[in-house]
Structure 1
């Protein structure tokens, strides 16, 4: 059986055009050498190929889940869209929620964005219309602004449209706004989370007459959507005893910290108010430590690659820094967070900086060292992630992203040397695009993911790859290469190999 080192270059999209392309503009001599030497192809990593709608970017969560699943999984966003279009009257919990809303204040909280990575603003509108139709007593919007999966100043137009939508409804108001930098931290920066908690519970923020006034005021101070400081429009309409929280984000990772503060009795990161009869609803479960009432069951992925290898008794190592650790473990394993036999899960801390363009190398060197150690231990299957192209790409800083890409390229050289010495085949690919488009047509920074295809390289001259594929083909390719029979769940997905 052949040992494999799988390297995920997070956010490393494939695009020939050089303009605004940090990957093409960076020094990638080692990647280029591997690409030109070994069998390679490109893979679709977004839209319908990974269970999303047309035009929607892939992301790290969906990418890793699809790579592990070896089949297409219908994702959270499209499932919510379908649910809200065709409200199931047999959904007892949703009916209970609508009944409660007739006598209570509903606080609709989430990322108000059309980026469709964490949320979809169309879901906010649909939910508002459903609540209004069912005579909700009071609807309070607490909007988180994006600027990371959208243009950096897109929020003003989104919010203006919502203001117009609810203008004639005395029972609906925008109460607060806050950039996702504070509201959606996932890296244990609880000082940021506390700032958002204080906005929602105490109304602590910059006072504004209207939501658009508040945003424009901060734009004048050169703040962009991601970093907007908390804005409060109605200080008396914060979350109170007996109210309802409706959490709108469908991706779990960036909602955990703020929701733990509201729902977990053992929360100790900062002082919190002990609410009486506060009820929290979400579309999907977020975490075992977060008590939410969920309208839909979570995605269920049976027998993904990592779990399947574990049941066969193979040794594994999963390696990533903090920002992508959940992706090489939880998401790659089909949203399973338990212990796996003979599987070492290795976490390297991400650097503590305000934004990663300040340290574009991140923790790539340490990630590389751990992967080398795993190869020297003769681990059967190593699955690792370099976060740099994605996380630095999200800052919109082209020069820093070029440095991030170059850092990863240097690491690839060392990994290849050790892989050759220890008889590993390397598989190098990405989960989605990002660093490949850093500028729009006007020269403005782009911070979002892309719908670009992604590269796939295998360091074995004895195989031949198809001209194209998608992320669902990766797991069957790995298993076929290792001469392991596919589980039943993957038998309908072809590998990337051309059969001789």
Structure 2
């Protein structure tokens, strides 16, 4: 291509059932509709084994999706790596696990487990937590505390009590042997602890106060907390429940994190684990007043940032992603632009570049600050501002390749509110319409795809029949998690009308995009990359 080659990721925009629960279908999308009808178009796999997850029952997510887009190959990802490390026993033979066990046996302080309590398999999996708890008991750890972050985002929106019951059953079984294993604190994942990309540090501060200091509203049990908070705020979903602590008969918190303890953050995904890890590890910390930092041994399920070596100790080595698309382009002197708003900035930079936190030679990174108000209140988010800057940058002629992420379909899709999700998709389509004439003007190419589905399925479905599930009042049950649906892939390259997708290529996925970008730029892809989606044959 003479002009720039641009990859636009419509985060969370899959191809669904085209029914009343499909916000992508319900949205007015003239630009996307035209591309699907008139330009090269195909579907891509964006979940399960196509992005390195354990099985095709596992929905995709933004982390693994952007890894695949940027790597050009499929790497085993966090969930699969942790499963293997637990099954083989290697996790429990590693230095991090051995050090955590040794610390609490020596001091008598509890072993604390902090993380997302669900089986969503996006940030964590409850079975990983249970394996760690049971192994701790087996190895003679007397005291364990769990700090449970409630999901309702990668799983049904009010499913928390299912996981609470599972956890309490495991803890109760272990307590029969005389050990003291209890829940210590908790809260909804979008209210405490799990911020990302420094969008909302007060969220992390609230988590720190609950988990570490034991400050916050007290409840006698995790179940009591969930039920009471729901009753007080009808309609609230799990991810938005406020934080709390669990107290004993004396009214005192049962699980402050104090000197001599060990803390394991059992989330395997990095983006929402980095900030709380920094709070535990950084000697000089200025993001909030954390008070006296307790002297604890801290470890992550994985290392969440390989460049920053954060955390220093981790149970399972992360995927080693090398020779990414960005590295190949940088080595060949190709200038690159990465742009998104805060909520997805790390996805088009860190994850796209194989979990590297520093820009490569010739890369320009632009972050548009996200709003902090609820996404359903501002479903247009920063799509227009991203496009403004992208167009200005493309017209400078400085960037041979650009990649961007419009976050709307995912972030608004996660709210479970259909009407704002429709507006979110329409907002993205409007930006596509603005970008098309610029691509034509510059004689470039625009490859539009998504990292996974989300807004395409806003209602829960019966797994056997596929029918939309309804509550006792006949209303559809909102879905807040990602989907298993394929994602669109459209090519707009008006100066190269001979280009088309290879219709003989079956089961192509996100990892095929990297070779396609190299193809458009005039480079041969490395031999081990998945092949380009394009053909120029008649």
Of residues 195, 211, 218, the one that matches 2:206 is: 195
Of residues 506, 519, 524, the one that matches 1:485 is: 524
TM-score with structure 2 length normalisation? Answer: 0.89
Cα 1:292–1:483 change in 2 (3 A) is same
Retained in 2: the 8 A contact 1:178–1:229?
yes
Q: Which position in structure 1 is the counterpart of 2:377?
A: 358
Please say if 1:205 is aligned against 2:210: no
Q: Which position in structure 2 is the counterpart of 1:265?
A: 283
Q: Secondary structure, in 3 states, of the residue corresponding to 2:500?
A: coil
Deviation at 1:256, TM superposition (A): 2.0
Q: Distance in 1 between matches of 2:288 and 2:500?
A: 56
Deviation at 1:205, TM superposition (A): 2.2
Deviation at 1:486, TM superposition (A): 1.5
Retained in 2: the 8 A contact 1:322–1:347?
yes
Q: Distance in 2 between matches of 1:481 and 1:107?
A: 50
Please say if 1:472 is aligned against 2:482: no
Q: Secondary structure, in 3 states, of the residue corresponding to 1:403?
A: helix
RMSD, aligned CA: 1.6
Q: Secondary structure, in 3 states, of the residue corresponding to 2:63?
A: helix
Structure 1 unaligned segments of length 5 or more: list them: none
Structure 2 unaligned segments of length 5 or more: list them: 248-252, 461-467, 471-475
Of residues 446, 456, 463, the one that matches 2:499 is: 463
Q: Distance in 1 between matches of 2:418 and 2:230?
A: 22
Q: How does 1:271-290 map to 2 (within 5 A)?
A: 271-287=289-305, 288=308, 290=310
Retained in 2: the 8 A contact 1:322–1:348?
yes
- Residue by residue over 1:54-102, the C-alpha shift from the partner in whole angstroms, topping out at 9 and shown as x without a partner, is 2111111111110111111100111111111111375344333333343
Please say if 1:111 is aligned against 2:112: no
Q: Secondary structure, in 3 states, of the residue corresponding to 1:352?
A: coil
Of residues 237, 245, 269, the one that matches 1:232 is: 245
Q: Which position in structure 2 is the counterpart of 1:247?
A: 265
Deviation at 1:348, TM superposition (A): 0.8
Q: Which position in structure 2 is the counterpart of 1:6?
A: 7
Count of equivalent residues: 497
Retained in 2: the 8 A contact 1:145–1:155?
yes
Q: Which position in structure 2 is the counterpart of 1:184?
A: 194
Q: Distance in 2 between matches of 1:240 and 1:157?
A: 30
Q: Distance in 2 between matches of 1:257 and 1:328?
A: 19
Q: Secondary structure, in 3 states, of the residue corresponding to 1:319?
A: strand
Q: Which position in structure 2 is the counterpart of 1:447?
A: 480
Q: Distance in 1 between matches of 2:30 and 2:453?
A: 20
Q: Secondary structure, in 3 states, of the residue corresponding to 1:102?
A: helix
- Residue by residue over 1:308-349, the C-alpha shift from the partner in whole angstroms, topping out at 9 and shown as x without a partner, is 111100111111111111111111111112232221111111
Retained in 2: the 8 A contact 1:184–1:255?
yes
Q: Secondary structure, in 3 states, of the residue corresponding to 2:339?
A: strand
Q: Distance in 2 between matches of 1:231 and 1:90?
A: 34
Q: Which position in structure 2 is the counterpart of 1:58?
A: 60
Q: Which position in structure 2 is the counterpart of 1:315?
A: 335
Deviation at 1:276, TM superposition (A): 4.9
Please say if 1:299 is aligned against 2:319: yes
Q: Which position in structure 2 is the counterpart of 1:74?
A: 76
Q: Which range is displaced more, 20-29 or 274-283?
A: 274-283
Retained in 2: the 8 A contact 1:374–1:382?
no
Q: Which range is displaced more, 167-176 or 53-62?
A: 167-176
Q: Secondary structure, in 3 states, of the residue corresponding to 2:316?
A: coil
- Residue by residue over 1:456-492, the C-alpha shift from the partner in whole angstroms, topping out at 9 and shown as x without a partner, is 01124312313441111111122123220213442xx
Q: Which runs of 4+ in 1 moved over 6 A?
A: none
Q: Which position in structure 2 is the counterpart of 1:335?
A: 355
- Residue by residue over 1:150-171, the C-alpha shift from the partner in whole angstroms, topping out at 9 and shown as x without a partner, is 1111111101121122214132
Q: Distance in 2 between matches of 1:157 and 1:498?
A: 49
Cα 1:276–1:26 change in 2 (3 A) is closer
Q: Which range is displaced more, 275-284 or 287-296?
A: 287-296
Q: Distance in 1 between matches of 2:50 and 2:261?
A: 40
Q: Which range is displaced more, 266-275 or 137-146?
A: 266-275
- Residue by residue over 1:164-211, the C-alpha shift from the partner in whole angstroms, topping out at 9 and shown as x without a partner, is 222141321111121111221224322222211111122222221221
Q: Which range is displaced more, 50-59 or 256-265?
A: 256-265
TM-score with structure 1 length normalisation? Answer: 0.96
Retained in 1: the 8 A contact 2:199–2:370?
no
